[in-house]
Every structure is written in C-alpha cells, then in structure tokens.
Chains A and B, each alone.
Chain A
Amino acid sequence: MKKRVFIDCHTDMQDIPAIKLIRRIPDLEICGISSCYDPYRSGTEEKISEGFLKSSGFEGKISEGARSPIIPRRGCNGGPGGHSEYYCRPQDGYAWEQMFEQAIKDNEDSGITMLLLGPATNLAIAILRYPAIKSRIDHIIMAGGSFGFGDVAPYSERNVYDDAYACKILLHSGIPMTMIGLSAATDAALSRDEMKTAVRCLVGEKKSESCLEDMSLRCLGGKYIVPSLAAAAWMMDPEVAVMDNFHVDVETNGTEMYGRTVIEWRHYLHEPEETRVAVSIKKDKLLDIVK
C-alpha cells in the first residue's frame, strides 16, 4: 500500500517543482493539498492561483488555509501580518478540516505524512481543533527553520518566522518531525542556470519562468536556496541529506531572535532529541534526483 502525504504549500508557482518531484516517488500518494498562510501574497490574491491548479497535477480538492498567523508578530518584533478575513466558509472547506478528514480515513491502516512547504499555521490549527489528529500523523516534514543563519532575520528562516507560534505548536505536539531548513539547503545553493535547468526538468519549459519568478524570495545573493526542493528530494532519496537528531524549539519572543529555530546541538547533555534535522544537503545528489 502506498504511503499517503498531505502537502501544505504556497499556491502560487514557487512550490510546484517540489510537488512535481514528490509525484515521481513511486510508493507515495498525495492525499491532499492545501494553501498555507502566505504573508507575501497580496490581499487581492487570496484565491489559489490558476497556474497552481493547472500545474500541480492533483485531481482532488485543494483547500484554502489560514489568512493570518496564529499569533501575529507584534510591534516589538516586527509588526502584524495577515490578510482579509473569511466572510464565508471556503467552498471546499478549510485546510485543517481536509487534513483531519484525510488523517482519520478509517479505511487506512496507517496515518499520513504531513509535508509543510510554508508556514505551519494550518497544521497547528488542525492540531488545536482536532487533537485526535496527532495519533494519525506518522510524521511531519517541514521545509523550513535553520541550524544557523536566517534569511528574513539574522537567525530566522522565513517559513518559521511567518508563524513562529504555529511552529512551536508542532514541535510541542509529540508528532515525529523532520526539519529540512535553510542552512542545510544552502549547501545545495543553485545558480540561476542550475535552478532553471532543474525546474525545467520538473515542470517543463513553459512553466519554468513563472516558477522561478515566484521563487524570487528564495534567491539570496544570486543563488537559489530552496528548502522545499531539498525536502522533496529527501523524501525521494534520504541519501541526499546528512541528518542528525536534536531537541528543537522556536523563539517566539524578542526582536532580532524572533522566529529563530533554536537547535540544542549539545548531544553530551543527553537530553531527549526528538526532531530529525538536516545538517547538510548534497548538491550533486540533489541535481541527480531532479534529473
């Protein structure tokens, strides 16, 4: 029986290459897709983009998720985020409802894997609303966080920073979790040409430009650093990453440190180390997988 994965992602074109890569994994079935909270999407673009709907190749319903984080950043740590309110229930229900529906499908013996390619808001709401979901999620794979430096702040990676509380809820949920974040993905930073070639292999010539355009936030110092692609590659072949286990938490206070994933690297303390963290990504292996 195929394993089932539910993908919570950005629903412009930036995560399409990762989804295409996941679709190549033979023993994996995508059982649901939802739209993550995305503070960089304009208020007029709340709907899931046509490009995403056409490109994802997913035939089930794609549900809409949160339009604001669980707890917005406050004045002391960067100001509010969030978009317009929902004034009616989305046609296909909320992301967290679909997550729960898929997780508890009673004809399935095993639970599901949750793959988060954006902020963790939707899954955090699912855990709060439906505590029983915790026993039906085998594994959370989060493309985000960082072992060291950040992108949106000195130590904070964008996906975690955009809803640090949600990430904390996941880390405290007791569900096994793997974090493939910015610092590891930096080992596999791709030039524009390399990225273009990789994206073409996954989505085709026609859609590659719009994917690259929507990945612009992941272009740092002229190189593409894309945790979502690294996470998808790891799901296909775990050999692409060097992993280790740590205790991980998220800073939800402070200004400069807000949204930092704090990784307890001191193995000698012999404390519980619940989270599997990608320490580095092998670039050559990643490019081989994509091709």
Chain B
Amino acid sequence: MKKIPIIFDCDPGHDDAIALVMALAREDWDIKAITTVGGNNTIKNVTENALRILEVTGRTDIPVASGMEGPFLKELVQTGKFHGKSGMDGHHLPDPVTKAASDDAVGLMAKILEESDEPVTLIITGVFTNVAVLLLAYPHLKSKISKISIMGGSYYRGNWSPIAEFNVWADPEAADVVMRAGIPFDMYGLDVTHQAYLKREEYAELRTYNNPVADFIADLFDFFSKSCIEDRGHPGCLVHDACAVAGLIDPSLFRYIDTHVQMDMDGDITRGGCVVELRPKGWPRDDEVNSKVAVWVDRIGFMKLLLDSCAYFGKKEV
C-alpha cells in the first residue's frame, strides 16, 4: 500500500493530542516527523507532550524535533489556562523516556522534503512559525509540499480577539508567509471547528474501549470540556485541531469554498485576523484562489471518525 507522506507541525495541547492520535491511527499515512513549535505552551513542554503521545500510542519510531520557541516579532503568549500548566493537563503520563531527535525542526522538515521522491503533505495545528521559517529559508522546497492542512484562522469569529484565532494571531507575520507561499492550503478555522464538538455523553464512550489511548483521550476531553462547556458555554468539547486531520482523512465530512485568504497585520483591533473573500461571485472581489476554506462539518461523521481512531489502538498491539 502506498502511504501518504506527512509532516505534522503542532504544539500539543489537548486538541493537538487528539488530532495526533487520529493521524497515528492511519495505516495509510507515513508520518515522517512530528515537529513542535512554541504556542499553547513552552517549546519544552509541547515537545515533551508530543513524545508522551508517541509513547502512549506506541509510535516512538516517528522522530520528533522541537522548533521555534516563539513568533517572529513578539514574545510568545501561551494559552495556559485552557490547556493547563503542562499544556496537556488532565491525564498523567510519565515523563517521556524517548528524546527529541533534534532541536532543529526546520532542518528536519527541510531534510525530509529534500529526500522525498514525492510531494509531502504538511499539517499545521500550532502557530505557523516553523513552517514560515522553512518556506523563507528553503524556497526551492515549496514544490515538494503538495498541500498544507491548517487549523487556524476564521472568517467571522475569533477566540483571542473578537475576530482573530490564536494560531494565526500569535504570529500573524508567519501566517502571512505561509498563506502567500503559493502552496494550496485547506483552512479549518474557528467557524467550522466550533461545529466540531463532542458532547460529554458522546465522548464518554471512550471509557468503554478499554485501551490506554482511549482512556488518555477521554481524560483530555474531561479537562478541556471545563473551559469549553462550563466556562464558555459551548454545547460540547471543541476539538479544533482534529479538523485539520479529519479533512485529510475524509474530505466528504466537510463543505468547502474555494477562495482567497490573507492575513491582516495592520489593524489596530483586527491585527492577526484572517481576511477571507466571502463576497458573492460577480461582485467586485479578489478571485485569486489560494485556499479551500471549510465552512461546514458533518458533526456526527466527524465524531465517529474520532472515536474509531481511538478504538483502533485497542485492536492494535501498543
């Protein structure tokens, strides 16, 4: 079976962890590396979290490389209260036994792309800094990236400002570099990720699977639900980052529009927001399409995919 080569750039993070578990359950994916970036938490913590996830899923064969500690031009702002002190509170996993293969995520990504005979798919579920530096420092490798699946941005609503989503808000210059690179990207922004939630009674099913990965994910859901359901009044626990993985696995779960997306870096109150061309065709508008923007998700289908991914680890010897 020909496998799809993937590089997964992330900052785990509860929803990153769930997204990673979904990706690791794919036998038709060849995950070449997991790279980490300072975002949800410090680079040290998110890297250790990535290693922990690989240990609990039995996939320590995948190299992890830590990358940029913070954004291009400003200090890193962490999302601490949502993800807890460790960046992945809620389930105690021991300190990782495995070590990161490198502290040069950009170098590892470049090496993988250089050596790959076929284009590689990138998944970004964290701040865009690593990938932006990759594209700036190795412009000739853009042609080796088939597409980028992104959790980030939004077209109406924000979480870190009224209109800006955290992953792009945290380093808008980096997001701009990625969006302008000429590489097609699928964008799973807040408008669609807010439709991708699991209710408490739905993710409770994970407890019946009797496998350590499902237990781990259930604990993460329990912790993350506090901020999603109790603090913010969402109908369930949002799983933002998992959308960027689910869309690659089964695009039929989503509806997309082909359109132009760019970053706002100038506005006094809109800096870090995405400008998504939503005006109807026929109106005066910028028609240079650079992105498929997800606008709707089949929530039940998404949930089933997520639960099946966790169940996979019970059938597989970990």
Number of A-B contacts (CB under 8 A): 54
Asked whether B173 is an interface residue with its Cβ less than 8 Å from the other chain, the reply is yes
Please tell me if the beta carbons of A129 and B136 are within 8 angstroms of each other in the complex.
yes
- Range of interface residues on chain B? 20 to 34
With contact pairs A85-B142, A94-B137, A128-B133 given, residues A71 and B177 touching in the complex (Cβ less than 8 Å):
yes
Within 8 A of B (CB), among A96-146: 96, 125, 128-129, 131
Neighbour of A172 across the interface among B73, B180, B265, CB < 8 A: B73
Q: Which residues of B contact A168 (CB under 8 A)?
A: 73
Asked whether B143 is an interface residue with its Cβ less than 8 Å from the other chain, the reply is yes
Asked whether B106 is an interface residue with its Cβ less than 8 Å from the other chain, the reply is yes
Question: Bound complex: CA of A88 vs CA of B144, how far in Å?
Answer: 11
Q: Which residues of B contact A269 (CB under 8 A)?
A: none
Q: Which residues of B contact A94 (CB under 8 A)?
A: 137-138
With contact pairs A85-B182, A168-B73, A172-B73 given, residues A71 and B140 touching in the complex (Cβ less than 8 Å):
no
Q: Which residues of B contact A2 (CB under 8 A)?
A: none
Please tell me if the beta carbons of A87 and B73 are within 8 angstroms of each other in the complex.
no
Asked whether B219 is an interface residue with its Cβ less than 8 Å from the other chain, the reply is no
Within 8 A of A (CB), among B117-153: 132-133, 136-140, 142-143
A228 to chain B, nearest CB (A): 25
Please tell me if the beta carbons of A128 and B266 are within 8 angstroms of each other in the complex.
no
Please tell me if the beta carbons of B133 and A129 are within 8 angstroms of each other in the complex.
yes
Q: Which residues of B contact A72 (CB under 8 A)?
A: 180
Asked whether A253 is an interface residue with its Cβ less than 8 Å from the other chain, the reply is yes
Q: Which residues of A contact B72 (CB under 8 A)?
A: 128, 165, 169
Question: Bound complex: CA of A85 vs CA of B143, how far in Å?
Answer: 10
With contact pairs A70-B173, A71-B177, A89-B140 given, residues A253 and B133 touching in the complex (Cβ less than 8 Å):
no
Please tell me if the beta carbons of B106 and A165 are within 8 angstroms of each other in the complex.
no
Please tell me if the beta carbons of B136 and A70 are within 8 angstroms of each other in the complex.
yes
Tell me what chain A mostly uses at the interface: helix, strand, loop, or mixed.
loop
Question: Bound complex: CA of A81 vs CA of B23, how far in Å?
Answer: 38
Asked whether B89 is an interface residue with its Cβ less than 8 Å from the other chain, the reply is no
- Range of interface residues on chain A? 20 to 34
Q: Which residues of B contact A254 (CB under 8 A)?
A: 266
B285 to chain A, nearest CB (A): 13
B132 to chain A, nearest CB (A): 8
Q: Which residues of B contact A252 (CB under 8 A)?
A: 265-266
B28 to chain A, nearest CB (A): 30
Asked whether B176 is an interface residue with its Cβ less than 8 Å from the other chain, the reply is yes
Q: Which residues of A contact B68 (CB under 8 A)?
A: 128, 131
With contact pairs A165-B173, A169-B72 given, residues A67 and B139 touching in the complex (Cβ less than 8 Å):
yes
Residue of A nearest to B106 (CB): A129
Neighbour of B140 across the interface among A76, A86, A131, CB < 8 A: A86
Within 8 A of A (CB), among B92-134: 106, 132-133
Question: Bound complex: CA of A253 vs CA of B266, how far in Å?
Answer: 5
A-B contacts, 6 of them at CB < 8 A, read A89-B140, A94-B138, A96-B137, A125-B137, A129-B106, A168-B73
Q: Give the 10 A-B residue pairs with the shortest CB-CB distance, closest first.
A: A129-B137, A253-B266, A86-B140, A86-B139, A128-B133, A125-B136, A88-B140, A89-B140, A129-B133, A125-B137
